[in-house]
Chain A
Amino acid sequence: MDVQTVNTDVSSRPLAIEARGLAKAYGELRAVDGIDLAVPEGMIFAILGPNGAGKTTLMRMLATLAAPDGGSARVMGHDLATAPQAVRGSIAMTGQFASLDEDLTGRENLLLLARLWGFRGRTARQRADELLESFDLTDAAKKQVKSYSGGMRRRLDIAASLVVTPGVLFLDEPTTGLDPKARQSVWRMIRELAGSGVTILLTTQYLEEADQLAERIAVIDHGRKIAEGTSRQLKAATGSGFLHVALADPARLDEAAGMLEGCLRGVAQRSVEGAEISIVAPSPAEANKALAALIADGIELADFSMGSPSLDEVFFALTGGERRVAEEAGA
């Protein structure tokens, strides 16, 4: 496995998270299989990967909720293994499933956390009300959380993580299951938080989310980091140019993909619904030659374009390639 280290120039800011070889196995399954991370303070850092890639396990280890089997990590300067309570004092975590008490009201949930942090009486109440107002929940403050919509829950859940401003905020799939409007609103909160200096580590399976929010992205698959960099760097590393072809006749998709793979010596990604093929083209000249070959063979094109890959294509190029190598090794 060769990790594509796209760029090692992580600025000189102090590190909020510094992990070396973190690993965790559940029985035979190596959920996280040796991951290094370096996240500078104040950055939004996305961990991108499919379901079961190990994103949540990695985050739970960093948030002291699961003990690593191997490796080490420091969060806000505190060692995960020797000073977990100090780590807890400088982080907050919003899990994938709302970590709220459904029977209590929104305000009571925030008051409980404020008291657990050590705020008393009036100060606790003021902080709870201030958060409710900021997250547009004042009207729902006295309603039980079980009556909240998905978007309201998510807002309250994030508010609950901000009772004391954390050094690092962990967000596990912060917008999964939200409608587009609620998603936009969560994104805005995340940006504002990062603007105020909070380091944010978020996991997502949405490429768009990573693209929109994150300064840096680590792509994770099968418990390993397979690439890391800015969105632009990841796109550039996959191939300077991507050739996108749409066929007039979907029946010839496989034939066309085979020809393109032959001409351009790469792995073509096909989408059956749109009879579309995407493939890395080392240069416009070679793309041109490949297109000419298709046309010469009588394959009619509905559309074609050259451009940089979408993050989706980067992702599939990275994870798909990895699987192929694994399969070949196994065979």
Chain B
Amino acid sequence: MSQPIEGGLRKVERPPEPSALSNALAFGWRAVLKFRHVPEQLFDLVMTPIMFTLLFTFVFGGALAGSPGEYLQFFLPGILVQTVCFNAVYSGMNLSTDLGKGLFDRFRSLPIWSLAPFAGLMVGDVLRHLIAGGIILTIGLVLGYRPEAGIAGVAGGFLLLLAIGFGMGWIFIVLGLLISTPTTVMTLGFSFLFPLVFASNIMVDPVTMPAWLRAFVEVNPVSLMASAIRGLMSGNASLGDVGLALVAPAVLTLVLAPVTLRLYRRQ
């Protein structure tokens, strides 16, 4: 502690102003570093979907679709949608944690593009979705899932997944900005998501459901997303299916991105 501090204290002028993209990339780099330093977070993200995949396939698969193999063919694209939706909750929790620590005060007092920290969050989300989705798909392939549309179908399905994750992400970013306790963000997030995910066509075909429930399931955005991913990966998706799946993410982005910016500036 007795060292002179001339080096750090010398007068350093501000470099030329960086672009918004450069700011966003810096935050993206932070998200990547988080994966390196806190690999445990991936464990949380993939354990639930792995358990769901295994339990549903082997416990209910035979009863629901005749055989576990046939059920997996139906269920796997859906579980990818569920994984991405649940992942978004963790992103909101992380944001709430960051805000609680005063870290964002430093970011907000910097002369940077004000949405850059959120762009960084999105980079983290995309990585999370790709990693979790990749693991689930691998397990599915090992268990016998076969995407009829091949690599192109899988790639298309994953692109749509990222769009879904991006849209859903806004809900939890807004919750993260509004709620200062990360566990409350999680509880609220899951109590909103569970009915949405279960009352969809992710797990079962709605034909056996009572009419009132079926009416809901058929318009549930999660069902539309699951159908589109299923279609893309098996090669029979129409442009309309994909368009319908994108309605909710697009609406969420258009409505919630400005809300996010306002909440962030107001704080």
Contacts and interface: CB of A to CB of B under 8 A. Distances in A.
Interface of A: 60, 63-65, 85-86, 88-89, 91-93, 95-105, 108, 112-113, 115-120, 123, 127, 130-131, 133-136, 144, 159-160, 162-165, 181, 185, 189, 192-193, 196-197
A117 B14 CA distance: 7
A99 B101 CA distance: 7
B127 to A, nearest CB: 15
Interface centre among A89, A103, A130, A159, by most chain B C-beta atoms within 10 angstroms, is: A103
Contacts of B6: 134
Interface centre among A118, A159, A160, A193, by most chain B C-beta atoms within 10 angstroms, is: A118
B109 A103 contact: no
Interface residues of B, number: 40
Interface of B: 1, 3-18, 22-23, 26, 29-30, 33-34, 37-38, 98, 101-103, 105-112, 116, 267
B110 A136 contact: no
A98 B109 CA distance: 14
Contacts of B26: 112, 115-116
A103 B39 CA distance: 11
Contact of B103 (A63, A65, A85, A101): A101
Contacts of A181: 1
Nearest to A185: B1
Contact of B109 (A63, A115, A120, A127): A63
A164 B5 contact: no
B228 to A, nearest CB: 35
B12 A98 contact: no
A91 B37 CA distance: 30
Contact of A116 (B7, B18, B38): B18
Contact of A85 (B8, B9, B16, B111): B111
Given A63-B109, A112-B30, A133-B3, A118 B22 contact: yes
Contacts of B15: 117-120, 123, 164
